[in-house]
Amino acid sequence: MREIVFTDLDGTLLDPFTYSYKQAASAIALLQQRGIPLIFCSAKTRAEQELYRQELRISDPFIVENGGAIFIPKDYFPFPFDYHKAAGGYLVIELGIPYQEIRSILKRVEEQSRLGIRGFGDMSAEEVADVSGLDVASARRAKEREYDETLRLEGSKEDVQRILHLIEDKGLNWAHGGKYYDVMGGNDKGKATSILVELFTRKLGRLKTIAIGDSLNDLPMLSVVDVPVLVQKPGGCWENIDLPGLYRVEGVGPQGWKTAIGEVLAVSSRLVHYPISEERKDSNNYPSNKYP
């Protein structure tokens, strides 16, 4: 049985404050030594993820902007498959709707709610850096959005809930990753993960799929793998997620990520294997691995 690892980035592989992966570097090297694919599945943009992929010498597919699209290096899979476009050396499966369309809908939400809505598209790179803790160069990459918009919603709980309800009424989805709200079309991390699991199964045969996250927006991804893993959030708590077979590890961000990889690979025989049943998929409203 071959293993494959899907991972969130911010707050999981990356430190929630410094965005560093250094504490997890040895675990990443272990995966590479064993030839285990490492799939980024994050709210981060293609530009952001490509930087980390280059630094870490990762050449596997990756999932951007909460499942907005899957970027697959050309010739990675030795068989034909459906995709929407070729771009920059990748074959791209698009699950989301265009960024500008999302921005247009959000403007209508703002007018209807009479409440201010500010996304990364309304901010300069310097402003994004100020609110996120990123450096300016990283903030520019965070603004290169293609499939979702990142919002920083402030105000009363009632105002935020009103905006979120209007977003849903307009046919958009949203996810909360801790610091921000991400607004998107019908995509989520689980749909994109399921498509890649199908492709990897065709390539490698029987798989053990592992996913590591830290927040509620990782639930769709965690729900469609065999071994879902949750690292701790700052303060030492875990996100309140109720999922059969969920494996909680101690350690915040990359420290927890390193622990997760070590324990999953070293003592996998002690982990309960929870194959994804049709009932489990249906109960969480996550589709089976079919193309849109």
Q: Which residues are catalytic?
A: 8
Residue with tokens 């049985």: 1
Question: Residue 28 belongs to what H/E stretch?
Answer: helix 25-33
What type of residue is 49?
Q
CA distance 96 to 113: 25
CA distance 240 to 281: 20
CA distance 253 to 268: 21
Count how many Cα atoms sit within 13 Å of the Cα of residue 159 in the half-sphere of its side chain: 10
What are the tokens at 202? Answer: 């065709």
CA distance 147 to 130: 23
